Structure 1
């Protein structure tokens, strides 16, 4: 990046080299390990920006409520964090600010950062000071939305992988450079996830990996579905395919040979938490996609083109963390009140987790009803309002079903026990604390980064018109280990939505910026998949249920 050059203009006083963050991993001895390799593959990969393209642009209203609080009603992913930021910006105590998150369709990380909230609060605050008690509304246009919120981080990834002739991985050396944009949003956290996954879900005895987030004059990079994992694992899986080709091995065979499991540590030295299902999802996907086993070896299906149409099939494997990582004190709150005489006539469930299209509120209501053993129509949900709930944490990092779900379950179990002990009515508040994690060692990167992971494998059949270059994705086969699916229909929706989003990122979408100006600021210039663009068929396979309960999707 030009911003990393010695003579580059300094963008922020606190950062003379424009490097916002630098993480590194050192394991084994990479320099000497290259002599053990029969094949070495070196490649450079570049991934672009991506626009979140959620259905509703940023919007909200603000007013003074009956208790004199500045109240902001909007869409977002962490109401309590927004309350704190508004209070800090206006120099007010947090209890003087109320945030209400309305259920809305879509966020994908793009609503993690402040947009209209502080401006709304400031406007109604100034009106109040002038004796005007009127609400304020802001609705961004699509152009304002695209210009105004962060994007998926562009990354340049240089990868050097070495393996023995039997396919055993020996050493990985990678350098990730990410365009963080003009301001630090979540670049440090995104890069941390990228450095953990850039070696893929495979065991490496030797690793040397560096990851840099760089300040530039571009639009800021921020949270986006996968949080650095898609960029890093695109490079990793491409490298694995190139190794397989160089060694004359089947791509499933070489993956099976090198999978992480509970006995093989991550590149950061920590054992991967129990319940690893990489082999299961890979096997299920491969078999469903037409792979066979002969004499103990995996063989890919034959795919033939016709005329000007070339056809192909590919397979990829991935993993991602659940919850906040690297030492963050991860927790989530829920409250339940049980009302009635001889039986529970109503259960009032209070949570602060935001529903941004993923169906969080439905899932939490289901968990409460099942734990209390009452019909779901007896649950009254109070959600997304800082006036009535403590923090459930962010609707991000694939965490809410696991974290808030455990909080709801814990609150419901305690409330039910007290109800059965003749306490009427019952009111319980419960906070679930996740297993502890640790941050990177500054020299080696050693840590216990996450308390759980989810696993996925996908295969794709496609056809390419060799005359026009048109790519037709005909079939997607996937296996996802989501643990216990609280609401299977919602899980299917999440899987299909992710496939379409990845399809757009890979084949269709092209976010463009020149000299600080966004050139693709609406959906006529930034093209996302339409109904005629999406894969013709998606085959979903459940991974074997495990004893680890809810995971994520």
Structure 2
């Protein structure tokens, strides 16, 4: 058996010894160094760019501006962002819409010279009126951010199911709330970097870090006006991604310079450039009403959600689709009226980040469930188990939940592990600890959630794999070709294990060749918690075909397979109905014991119990690492990471001001409950779970703070000043109520 065991990761030795190269470690003979000239402010029209002083600097080889990019546009959903902003290019490219737009690119013999040259470039701007609040952006007369999106509305999803007004009239209890969630920076440890060169077959070759090599190739080829077979993308080791590497950063810039100059080029962004230059998690503001009967059964949900999508589309249409799907949580709700809108502003663009819209929606939904439980005098676990999906349940969008529903079992396992007990009258929460320090209060909180696995809403989904078997009488070696990126989560090790299991070989006989578009077809992105699920199905299919060829005495025996899961469907634009919006789901529940210092406002998670249904655990230690990492990252979102944007300008552009969790911020104990309820569609029953541990942490933590203090906080993050002001409004004169 090759799965279900924690074999040594295939990348472990190289990373521990430092021999594994990340993109910033790569150097090529005769390479040039690239530096970006950033817009620095927005919105504005570029009237003139003078590069003569920069070009005259000794050691500068070239300065590229908008006119040098043949098809000056890119974007995952829409080609709406210039590669380089400036005049003498396509219409509209002369406008910078946020401070992270690129206005020039310098190639020089050293990084120092390139940096000096960037400062010598003179740019003359005509300032334009800006809009920075998403609600303001949607009001008539607001400054127009982008000509392609009238009224600054990128998208508007609706759910119209049942008779909401009648349900509210019949309700025993109605809970209303206004919730605000913030930007979040991905803060992966490896900033954007890479090298580019012309390979032996004349292809522009970009070696970098990303999440979907074939999409990177497509974006590069489109921007340069080249056929895709002229471009090659290779991934070196990747130091984290979390959705932040789905969109373009350095890829097209590297390719442009290598193509134009015929020399190798290298770029490394600083941490400040990384924070400025890639997208963030969407902030949202939501106004909601939920209704229930006296027994705690949900009757209706009404929601109005506006998300700040920033200056360009990125993946916002898909993220907002996910918010729409998750806005009622994993619950049966017969009557729903929801409006989910994406507003363009002159803030940084927002896009994919771990959870892909589900953290925002589930914060709203789980806060409402906890408040309903309080209003009804009911335990938060009990009210959830009365309403969660079961096999055959109908979702708020009208379709039936895919088979393999396990959310009730996940909730129960988490609750029991946290000390909840089931009695004849229902579930009862555990007692909270007491403290000899009168300033310290303790409380328990609970929340749960779900997340789609694989692409959704009709987006074409597939995953390719190739298996070669080498040997004579016996298989001596299997070579697996797969394009999927390992962004640090151990995906490549899991691929080896799944191939070994399918072939009946020990893992040491399997060799993986991955993440190079020269010898793989597309396997899709490392996102949507899809890679183990999709790659496993593809590798299993390819292995079966290779084994059939082996039995036919073909040497080497080769099998290729493209896995295509069940079809998904978009929302009906008027009602939100979708027969099957997602392929399948993963389920999670979390209980949090928190400590609150009522004199300082400091919130500290003491214990987190995280229960995840993974279907089948391929590599248990990897799973625990994913769970613990997701919990800590969510603690940053909930408590420490206060990303500040003022008039479109990022103020927290260093890790000294944007505080990701450190060792003192993590829980004293994180208990990982790995549950294995097989998914009917998953290889060996596997479900994806990489995003799941993030999802319910924030609402569970806020519920724990409420249990400790009696105060609800409806906005994140729970920084000490915000918590203190919420606990002691009388001590903060003139305070604007942000709780």
Q: Which of these residues, 259, 280, 293, is aligned with residue 125 of structure 1?
A: 259
Residue in 2 that maps onto 1:457 = 589
Contact residue 321 and residue 453 of structure 1 kept, 8 A: yes
Note the alpha carbon deviations across 1:36-90, whole angstroms, 9 max, x for none.
Answer: 1010011000000000000000000000101010000000001001101111111
Q: Which of these residues, 71, 78, 95, is aligned with residue 205 of structure 2?
A: 71
Q: TM-score when scaled to structure 2?
A: 0.73
Cα distance in 2 for partners of 1:167, 1:135 equals 65
Q: How does 1:98-109 map to 2 (within 5 A)?
A: 98-109=232-243
Residue in 2 that maps onto 1:221 = 350
- Are residues 544 and 404 of structure 1, via their aligned partners in 2, closer, same or farther at CA, if it must alter by over 3 Å? closer
| Displacement after TM superposition at 1:103 (Å) | 2.5
| Displacement after TM superposition at 1:167 (Å) | 0.4
Cα distance in 1 for partners of 2:592, 2:269 equals 37
SS in 2 for 1:322: strand
Residue in 1 that maps onto 2:12 = none
Contact residue 617 and residue 676 of structure 2 kept, 8 A: no
* Structure index of larger Rg: 2
Q: How does 1:293-312 map to 2 (within 5 A)?
A: 293-306=422-435, 307-312=438-443
| Displacement after TM superposition at 1:308 (Å) | 1.7
| Displacement after TM superposition at 1:304 (Å) | 4.3
Q: How does 1:191-270 map to 2 (within 5 A)?
A: 191-270=320-399
Residue in 2 that maps onto 1:167 = 296
2:418 is equivalent to residue 282 of structure 1:
no
Residue in 2 that maps onto 1:86 = 220
Contact residue 641 and residue 660 of structure 2 kept, 8 A: yes
Cα distance in 1 for partners of 2:446, 2:340 equals 26
Contact residue 103 and residue 354 of structure 1 kept, 8 A: no
Cα distance in 2 for partners of 1:480, 1:409 equals 24
Contact residue 338 and residue 346 of structure 1 kept, 8 A: yes
Q: Which of these residues, 454, 464, 484, is aligned with residue 353 of structure 1?
A: 484
Which protein, 1 or 2, shows the higher relative CO under an 8 Å CA cutoff with sep ≥ 6?
Answer: 1
Give the CA RMSD over aligned residues. Answer: 0.9
Q: Which of these residues, 493, 502, 506, is aligned with residue 638 of structure 2?
A: 506
Bigger mean CA deviation after superposition, 29-38 or 139-148: 29-38
Cα distance in 1 for partners of 2:403, 2:452 equals 13
Q: Which of these residues, 648, 656, 668, is aligned with residue 524 of structure 1?
A: 656
| Displacement after TM superposition at 1:471 (Å) | 1.4
Bigger mean CA deviation after superposition, 31-40 or 142-151: 31-40
2:540 is equivalent to residue 409 of structure 1:
yes
- Are residues 236 and 342 of structure 1, via their aligned partners in 2, closer, same or farther at CA, if it must alter by over 3 Å? same
Contact residue 171 and residue 292 of structure 2 kept, 8 A: yes
Cα distance in 2 for partners of 1:545, 1:256 equals 18
Cα distance in 1 for partners of 2:638, 2:479 equals 44
- Are residues 391 and 482 of structure 1, via their aligned partners in 2, closer, same or farther at CA, if it must alter by over 3 Å? same
2:570 is equivalent to residue 433 of structure 1:
no
Q: Which of these residues, 305, 309, 314, is aligned with residue 185 of structure 1?
A: 314
2:230 is equivalent to residue 96 of structure 1:
yes
Cα distance in 1 for partners of 2:412, 2:559 equals 44
Residue in 2 that maps onto 1:325 = 456
Contact residue 33 and residue 170 of structure 1 kept, 8 A: yes
Residue in 1 that maps onto 2:621 = 489
Gapped runs of 5+ residues in structure 2? 1-134, 690-739
2:395 is equivalent to residue 395 of structure 1:
no
Contact residue 323 and residue 399 of structure 1 kept, 8 A: yes
Residue in 1 that maps onto 2:62 = none
Cα distance in 2 for partners of 1:398, 1:525 equals 30
Residue in 1 that maps onto 2:248 = 114
Contact residue 59 and residue 139 of structure 1 kept, 8 A: yes
Contact residue 77 and residue 396 of structure 1 kept, 8 A: yes
Bigger mean CA deviation after superposition, 531-540 or 222-231: 531-540
Note the alpha carbon deviations across 1:134-182, whole angstroms, 9 max, x for none.
Answer: 2100000000000000000000111100000110100000011000000
Note the alpha carbon deviations across 1:84-135, whole angstroms, 9 max, x for none.
Answer: 111111111100000001221200000000000000000011112xxxxx21
Count how many residue pairs are aligned between Structure 1 and Structure 2.
548
Residue in 2 that maps onto 1:59 = 193
Bigger mean CA deviation after superposition, 539-548 or 64-73: 539-548
Contact residue 41 and residue 242 of structure 1 kept, 8 A: yes
2:666 is equivalent to residue 534 of structure 1:
yes
2:175 is equivalent to residue 41 of structure 1:
yes
SS in 2 for 1:347: strand
Residue in 2 that maps onto 1:313 = 444
Q: How does 1:144-163 map to 2 (within 5 A)?
A: 144-163=273-292
Note the alpha carbon deviations across 1:441-474, whole angstroms, 9 max, x for none.
Answer: 1111111101200000000001111111111211
Residue in 2 that maps onto 1:131 = none
Contact residue 50 and residue 152 of structure 1 kept, 8 A: yes
Cα distance in 2 for partners of 1:408, 1:341 equals 22
Cα distance in 1 for partners of 2:571, 2:604 equals 42
Q: How does 1:12-23 map to 2 (within 5 A)?
A: 12-23=146-157
Cα distance in 1 for partners of 2:433, 2:625 equals 32
Cα distance in 1 for partners of 2:150, 2:463 equals 38
| Displacement after TM superposition at 1:546 (Å) | 2.4
SS in 1 for 2:582: coil
Q: How does 1:131-150 map to 2 (within 5 A)?
A: 134-150=263-279
Residue in 1 that maps onto 2:495 = 364
Contact residue 280 and residue 544 of structure 1 kept, 8 A: no
Cα distance in 2 for partners of 1:95, 1:293 equals 61
SS in 2 for 1:427: strand
Cα distance in 1 for partners of 2:155, 2:248 equals 21
| Displacement after TM superposition at 1:544 (Å) | 4.2
Residue in 2 that maps onto 1:273 = 402
SS in 2 for 1:438: coil
Cα distance in 2 for partners of 1:66, 1:418 equals 33
SS in 1 for 2:664: coil
Q: TM-score when scaled to structure 1?
A: 0.98
Contact residue 545 and residue 560 of structure 2 kept, 8 A: no
| Displacement after TM superposition at 1:478 (Å) | 1.4
| Displacement after TM superposition at 1:421 (Å) | 2.5
Runs of 4+ in structure 1 off by over 6 angstroms are none
Contact residue 549 and residue 558 of structure 2 kept, 8 A: no
